[in-house]
Amino acid sequence: MRLFLDTNIVVEYLEHRRYFHEVRLILETIRDGQNEGFVSQGCIYTLVYLLERVLKTRNIHRPEQTMILRRMMSSIIRLFTPIGIGRREMLDAMTNLQFDDLEDSLQHQCAVESQCGVLLTINVDDYKNVDQTQIEVLSPSAFVEQYLRKE
């Protein structure tokens, strides 16, 4: 299955937040080839920015910071396929009235363009107006319950 991960899913894992264990299970299915993982190119840029800030708070600066970032981001890029969208798709996202949050609209547009079956996000309510027949929007817990817990 083609899974699109909202940026907050990756941050959830990296920062060991509330849904860390569910996200870890999902990432294992991607790593093991059971599912394909996709993120937006914007997610990659955001992660570089956030991780750089974390390293600075830990008093890790260049050039060591750059080496650590290269290693971490290379691992992330090997795990996920980054998806970009063009001007037309970005304009479609800007005019999509289903969304109040434009970043969510851009993420959704990336997920649809990459023909993913599921968009994983912590903020499911931000996608409440999305046509679920086009792409299923699930939290990590709901995905694990629906697709990974086989009895």
Query: Which of 34, 30, 12 has its CA nearest to residue 21?
Result: 12
pTM exceeds 0.75 for this model? yes
pLDDT at position 130: 87
- DSSP code of residue 146: I
- The Cα–Cα gap between 101 and 113 comes to 19
Element (H, E) at 42: helix 41-57
Query: How confident is the prediction along the chain (151 residues), in pLDDT tens digits per residue?
Result: 999 999 999 999 999 999 999 999 999 999 999 999 999 999 999 999 999 999 999 999 999 999 999 999 999 999 999 999 999 999 999 999 989 899 999 999 999 999 999 999 999 999 999 888 889 999 999 999 999 986 4
Domain 2-148 architecture: 3-Layer(aba) Sandwich (3.40)
For residue 147, give the amino acid letter: Y
pLDDT at position 150: 66
pLDDT at position 40: 96
